[in-house]
Amino acid sequence: MEKKRYLLLENGTVFEGRAFGAEGDVTGEVVFTTAMTGYLETLTDPSYFGQIVIQTFPLIGNYGVIPEDFESRKSFVKGYIVRDWCQAPSNFRNQGDLDTFLQQQGIPGLYGIDTRALTRAVREKGVMNGRFFSELPQDLDAAVEKLKEYRIVEAVESTSTDRRETVRFLDERPVWSGLHDFSAAPVETDGMAPKQVVLLDLGAKYNIARELAKHGCDVTVVPCHTTAEEILAMKPDGIMLSNGPGDPADNPEIIEEIGKLRVSGVPVFGICLGHQLLALSAGARTEKMKYGHRGANQPVRRVRDGRVFITSQNHGYCVVSGSLPAYAEESFVNANDGTCEGVLYTDHPVFSVQFHPEASGGPHDSEFLFDDFVKLMEEVGVHAVK
Domains held by the chain: number: 2
Binning pLDDT at 50, 70 and 90, where does residue 302 land?
A: very high
DSSP state of 229: H
Q: Which of 272, 275, 340, 341 is catalytic?
A: 272
CA distance 133 to 152: 20
- Which residue range(s) make up the domain with 249? 156-385
Three-state DSSP state, 295: strand
Instruction: Give the pLDDT band of residue 230 (cuts 50, 70, 90).
Output: very high
Domain shared by 89 and 192, yes or no: no
Alpha-carbon span 379 to 381, nearest angstrom: 5
Report pTM.
Answer: 0.93
Asked if 68 is an active-site residue, the reply is: no
Q: What are the phi and psi torsion angles at 253 (to 5°)?
A: -70, -40
pLDDT tens digit sequence for 334-378: 999 999 999 999 999 999 999 999 998 788 999 999 999 999 999
**pLDDT, tens digit (0-9, with 9 covering 90-100), for 253-271:** 999 999 999 999 999 999 9
Which domain-ending residue is among 122, 152, 182?
152
Q: Which of 215, 293, 315, 356 is catalytic?
A: 356
Last residue in a domain, options 95, 118, 152: 152
CB of 300 within 8 A of CB of 334?
A: yes
Phi-psi region of 28 (alpha: psi -120 to 50; beta: other; left: phi over 0): beta
Q: What is the pLDDT of residue 297?
A: 93
- Establish whether 16 is a catalytic residue: no
The CATH number given to whatever domain includes residue 101 is 3.50.30.20
Q: Do residue 248 and residue 187 come from a single domain?
A: yes
Q: Measure the CA–CA gap between 203 and 254, rounded to whole angstroms.
A: 13
Which of 114, 136, 152 corresponds to the end of one domain?
152
Task: Work out the mean pLDDT of the chain and round it to a whole number.
Answer: 92
User: Left if phi > 0, otherwise alpha if psi is -120 to 50, otherwise beta: which for 41?
Assistant: alpha
- Residue 168's pLDDT is what? 75
- Same domain, yes or no, for 148 and 170? no
Instruction: Measure the CA–CA gap between 47 and 36, rounded to whole angstroms.
Output: 18
| Catalytic-residue membership of 356 | yes
Closest CA to 207 of 68, 309, 96: 68
138 and 164 inside one domain:
no
Residues 193, 315, single domain; the answer is: yes
Domain of 266, CATH number, reads 3.40.50.880
My answer on whether 145 and 255 are in the same domain is no
Is residue 192 scored above 80 in pLDDT? no
Q: What share of the chain is helix, strand, coil (3-state, %, to 5)?
A: 25, 30, 40
Average pLDDT over residues 62-66: 96
Q: Which of 10, 211, 257, 358 is catalytic?
A: 358
